[in-house]
């Protein structure tokens, strides 16, 4: 199976959300977790492509258009990795899909279950924010395969940021397990 991994945002272009105290950047968390997810999926026998870019809709340079790259590679699944940010109080993990009744929703459910279970084993107060439908996100709308966007936690929250800083390997393993659960036919 071919899995396209998209760590969200891009250093030097758009760092994404930033923790106001530690300076931890979303682009750095997404990149590290993405590299680890790629390693674990390759170890499970998957073909992978990893591309970090802020170019989601075809702006210049076209070489880095995420959706076009995933479609051209004919990926079977698409996983975009992000960190949420809101008001320093919001926290938790959620996974976004274009359509809640799609194959992507089943993939999202597998990833969400694994990620929340892993996170709650580390910090029992982690909140499961569930699956959310988002029809406005390019990476969910313009990909030809089941696509999900994983919000791994709130980078501006004092509790979630500890998980995002110190448990990137655990997060990556959980996401990879979610993908392999989906491949096995789990619901």
Read off the CATH number of the domain in which 42 is found: 3.40.630.40
Single out the residue of 82, 67, 101, 78 nearest to residue 9, CA to CA: 82
Distances in whole angstroms, Cα of residue 132 to Cα of each of 38, 65, 95, 141? 24, 24, 6, 14
Residue 57 pLDDT > 70, yes or no?
Answer: no
The helix (run of H) or strand (run of E) holding residue 36 is helix 26-43
Per-residue pLDDT averaged across 26-50, rounded? 97
pLDDT tier for residue 64 given thresholds of 50, 70 and 90: low
In the chain, what percentage of residues exceed pLDDT 70?
94
Residue 28 pLDDT > 50, yes or no?
Answer: yes
Number of structural domains, the chain? 1
Query: What per-residue confidence (pLDDT) applies to 26?
Result: 94
Residue 59 pLDDT > 50, yes or no?
Answer: no
Query: What per-residue confidence (pLDDT) applies to 63?
Result: 47
Query: What per-residue confidence (pLDDT) applies to 122?
Result: 97
Q: Which domain, by its residues, includes 69?
A: 2-184
Q: What is the pLDDT of residues 119-167, one digit of tens each?
A: 999 999 999 999 999 999 989 999 999 999 999 999 999 999 999 999 9
The pTM (predicted TM-score) of the whole model is 0.93
């Amino acid at each position: 199976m071919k899995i396209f991994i998209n760590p969200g945002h891009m250093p030097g272009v758009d760092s994404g959300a930033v923790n106001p105290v530690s300076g931890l950047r979303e682009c750095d968390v997404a990149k590290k977790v993405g590299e680890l997810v790629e390693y674990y999926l390759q170890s499970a026998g998957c073909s992978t492509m990893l591309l970090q870019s802020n170019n989601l809709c075809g702006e210049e340079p076209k070489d880095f258009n995420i959706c076009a790259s995933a479609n051209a590679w004919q990926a079977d699944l698409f996983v975009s990795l992000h960190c949420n940010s809101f008001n320093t109080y919001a926290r938790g993990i959620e996974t976004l899909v274009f359509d809640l009744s799609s194959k992507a929703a089943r993939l999202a459910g597998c990833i969400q279950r694994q990620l929340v279970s892993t996170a709650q084993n580390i910090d029992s107060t982690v909140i499961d924010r569930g699956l959310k439908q988002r029809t406005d996100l390019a990476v969910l709308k313009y990909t030809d395969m089941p696509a999900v966007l994983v919000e791994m936690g709130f980078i501006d929250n004092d509790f979630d940021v500890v998980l995002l800083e110190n448990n990137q390997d655990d997060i990556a393993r959980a996401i990879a397990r979610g993908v392999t659960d989906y491949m096995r036919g789990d619901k």
